[in-house]
Chain A
Amino acid sequence: MSDLLSLSLTGARDALKAKKTSSTELTDAYIGAMEAGKSLNAFITETPDKARAMAKASDEKLAKGEGGAMEGLPIGIKDLFCTQGVLTTAASHILDGFKPEYESTVSQNLWNAGAVMLGKLNLDEFAMGSSNETSHYGPVENPWRRSGGDNAKLVPGGSSGGSAAAVAGRLAIAATGTDTGGSIRQPASLCGIVGIKPTYGRCSRWGVVAFASSLDQAGPLTRTVSDAALMLGAMAGHDPKDSTSADLAVPDFEAALTGDVRGMKIGIPKEYRVDGMPAEIDALWQKGAAMLKDAGAEIVDISLPHTKYALPTYYIIAPAEASSNLARYDGVRYGLRVDGDSLNEMYENTRAEGFGDEVKRRILIGTYVLSAGYYDAYYLKAQKVRALIQKDFNDAYQSVDAILTPTAPSAAFAIGENEDDPIKMYLNDVFTVPASLAGLPGISVPVGLSGEGLPLGLQVLGKAFDEETVLKVGGVLEQAAGFDALPGFLAGGK
Chain B
Amino acid sequence: MSLDKATVAKIAHLARIKTDDAQLDAMVGDLNTILGFVEQLSEVNTDNVEPLASVTGHGLPLRADVVTDGAYPERVLANAPDRAHGYYAVPKVVE
Contact = CB atoms under 8 A, between A and B. Distances in A.
B18 A349 contact: yes
B60 interface: yes
B44 to A, nearest CB: 5
Contact of A201 (B12, B56, B90, B93): B56
Nearest to A347: B16
A462 to B, nearest CB: 14
B15 A323 contact: yes
Interface string B29-47: 0110111011111101010
B61 interface: yes
A52 to B, nearest CB: 26
B36 to A, nearest CB: 9
Interface stretch (A65-73, A220-228, A290-298, A379-387): A379-387
Interface stretch (A153-161, A252-260, A308-316): A308-316
A355 B56 contact: no
Contacts of B19: 352
B25 to A, nearest CB: 13
Given A347-B16, A423-B33, A361 B27 contact: yes
Given A312-B41, A368-B31, A363 B51 contact: no
B61 A309 contact: no
Nearest to B50: A387
Interface residues of B, number: 48
A276 to B, nearest CB: 16
A246 interface: yes
B2 interface: no
Contacts of A243: 60-61
Given A315-B34, A368-B11, A332 B80 contact: yes
B52 A361 contact: no
Interface residues of A, number: 71
Contacts of A347: 16
What DSSP secondary structure best describes chain A's contact surface? helix
Given A201-B56, A367-B15, A383-B52, A335 B33 contact: no
B93 A363 contact: no
Contact of A361 (B30, B54, B56): B30
Contacts of B11: 364, 367-368, 371
A421 B33 contact: yes
B82 A98 contact: no
B38 A240 contact: no
Interface string B51-63: 1111110001101
Contacts of A312: 37-41
A342 interface: yes
Contact of B3 (A200, A368, A426): A368
B27 A385 contact: no
B14 A97 contact: no
A296 B88 CA distance: 64
A344 B16 CA distance: 7
A488 interface: no
Contacts of A343: 90-93
A8 interface: no
Contacts of A313: 38, 41
A427 B92 CA distance: 46
B91 A439 contact: no
A438 B40 contact: no
Interface in A340-371: 340-349, 351-352, 355, 360-361, 363-365, 367-368, 371
Of the candidates B37, B44, B49, B88, the one having the most CB atoms from chain A within 10 angstroms of its own CB is B44
A334 B78 CA distance: 8
B38 A316 contact: yes
B90 to A, nearest CB: 5
B67 interface: no
Of the candidates B31, B52, B53, B60, the one having the most CB atoms from chain A within 10 angstroms of its own CB is B52
A378 interface: yes
Please list the 3 inter-chain residue pairs (A to B) with the smallest Cβ-Cβ separation, ordered nearest first: A439-B55, A383-B51, A334-B79
14 contacts: A200-B56, A240-B61, A334-B79, A334-B81, A351-B15, A361-B31, A363-B17, A365-B35, A368-B31, A371-B11, A371-B14, A384-B49, A387-B52, A423-B33
Interface of A: 97-101, 200-201, 214, 240, 243-244, 246-247, 306, 308-309, 311-313, 315-316, 323, 330-337, 339-349, 351-352, 355, 360-361, 363-365, 367-368, 371, 378, 380-388, 390, 421-423, 426, 437-439, 464
